[in-house]
Structure 1
Amino acid sequence: MSITRRITGLFKVKADKALDRAEDPRETLDYAYQRQLDLLQKVRRGLADVATSRKRVELQHAQLEQSAAKLQEQAQQALALGREDLAREALTRRTAVLAQDQDLQAQVTTLRAEEEKLTLAEQGLQAKVEAFRTQKETIKASYTAAEAETRIGEAVTGISGEMSDVGAAVQRAQDKTEQLQARAGALDELMASGALDDATSPVAHDGLKTELDAISARGDVEAELAAMKAELASSPAPPSLEAGPKEGEEPEPPEEPKDHA
């Protein structure tokens, strides 16, 4: 095999595969059915033409028969009048007419046979076309159903894939949310412990400043306490209801109750 043939064959195979992928079997079946209808129409037209020709020949045959009968009558009339020459001429023409009539009868026979043949062919072809039409519609319905099932399957598969992608996206969002929440909690703990300064507060936390503030607060407390002591010392002492024993003296014993007679 030459290289040209191999290349041509390769291109033909590839072209057939491309056509097979692009071909819709339903369109192919409809096209084949249309071709059969066209063929059936041609057979019917041929049958109509043969029938028309047969009818025309039959009309000519009828006319020739009338003409032969008339010539026969004229020959008899001419012979009755003693015109043998006219009778002979009429019979001669009648013989020619009868010869033409025989040819027409043969044509009628041939046309009838052709008409019967075409009628049988038309009936057989019509039966085949009807059977093919039924088969075509069945195949088209099966192909349409299979195509619908395939598309539904592809759609379901596509939806499942999308849902998987959505689930993965939700999981990633949850992971990021938990990570940010953990980071925020850790920052709050560090800021509460003073390890990190709050950049948003007007004064940053400082250990030395905190200690100085505590010393100032204690000084204020001591000063206030001293002022309260001085105020108490300058004010007179409130009178006591019972004078207690002085320091170093023993308390007097309580008086015994008196008996009242």
Structure 2
Amino acid sequence: MGLVDRVKSIFKAKANSILNELEDPEEALELSLEELREQLNKINKSLIEVTTVKKRLESNLSDIRDKIRLAQEQADLSIASHREDLAQAALAKKMDLTEQEERISKELKQLEEKIKMITANKEKLERYIYDLQNKKEELIAMNRAADAQIMVKEAIAGVSSDILNINQRIARAQEKIKEKNNKVAAMDELIEINALDVLDETDPIQEELDKIQREEKIKQELEQLKKKKGV
């Protein structure tokens, strides 16, 4: 095999591979049925055409046979009338007509064989279309069941593009939820810190009361110290 042939074979193999991947089984079945029905229509048209030719030849053959009988009658009449020359002409005409009869009969026989062959092929194709039509629903059901199994297995394995998109969406949702929870935790921490700061702050009223108590305590200690010193 030459280089060009090898390149053609490679391109043909790749083209077939791409076609197999793109071709939908259900559409392929329906397309096949349509093409088969078209072939059946062509066979029916061919059968009609051949049968029409056969009928025309049969009509011609019938006319020729009538002419042969007439030529024979003319020959008989000529002999009876002692006209040998006319009898000879009538027999010559009869011979020509007989040759035509044989030729047409032969053509008719061939046409009948063709009609039988076309009819047999037509019946085979009709049965095949009928069987394929009945089989189509079963094949479609099997194809859809296989698609469902593939979807389940892809979902389990997480390998299909749809499942990958779903998994990515779930991952993004989980990340957002995680971020929100982290934000809530941070806010709780900040609130807790602020609460502690609030508790550490001195209340102005309490501060004033503490000051009064302190001064009162100092005053009491001062009075006690004066009494003790006798001042």
TM superposition score normalised by structure 1: 0.62
Determine whether 1:181 maps to 2:188: yes
Aligned counterparts, 1:85-100, within 5 A: 85-100=85-100
Alignment correspondent of 1:73: 73
| Greater displacement, 13-22 / 95-104 | 13-22
Once the two structures are superposed, residues 43-92 of structure 1 have per-residue CA deviations (whole angstroms, 9 ceiling, x without a partner) of 33332222222211111110001111122222333333343322221122
Q: 1:139 to 1:5 in 2, by over 3 A?
A: same
Larger Rg: 1
Query: Take 1:61 and 1:179, find their aligned partners in 2: how far apart are those partners?
Result: 109
Identity of aligned residues (%): 24
Query: Take 2:78 and 2:118, find their aligned partners in 1: how far apart are those partners?
Result: 48
Q: 1:193 to 1:28 in 2, by over 3 A?
A: same
Query: Take 2:79 and 2:5, find their aligned partners in 1: how far apart are those partners?
Result: 87
Aligned length: 210
Cα deviation for residue 163 of structure 1 reads 5.3
| Greater displacement, 15-24 / 144-153 | 144-153
Instruction: Extract structure 1 runs of 4+ deviating beyond 4 A.
Output: 1-17, 148-160, 162-165, 210-213, 215-219
Q: 1:8 to 1:42 in 2, by over 3 A?
A: closer
Say what the alpha-carbon RMSD is for the aligned residues.
Answer: 3.9
Amino acid at match of 1:214: K
Aligned counterparts, 1:88-127, within 5 A: 88-127=88-127
Query: Take 2:7 and 2:77, find their aligned partners in 1: how far apart are those partners?
Result: 89
TM superposition score normalised by structure 2: 0.69
Query: Take 2:18 and 2:97, find their aligned partners in 1: how far apart are those partners?
Result: 69
Determine whether 1:19 maps to 2:10: no
Q: 1:147 to 1:54 in 2, by over 3 A?
A: same
Q: 1:14 to 1:48 in 2, by over 3 A?
A: closer
- For structure 2, list consecutive stretches of 5 or more residues without a partner in the other structure: 220-231
Cα deviation for residue 108 of structure 1 reads 1.4
- For structure 1, list consecutive stretches of 5 or more residues without a partner in the other structure: 196-204, 223-261
Cα deviation for residue 215 of structure 1 reads 5.1
The structure carrying a bigger helix percent of its residues is 2
Give the alignment partner of residue 211 of structure 2, picking from 191, 210, 214.
Answer: 214
Query: Take 1:3 and 1:218, find their aligned partners in 2: how far apart are those partners?
Result: 115
Alignment correspondent of 1:191: 198
Query: Take 2:11 and 2:93, find their aligned partners in 1: how far apart are those partners?
Result: 74
Query: Take 1:60 and 1:2, find their aligned partners in 2: how far apart are those partners?
Result: 58
| Greater displacement, 45-54 / 77-86 | 77-86
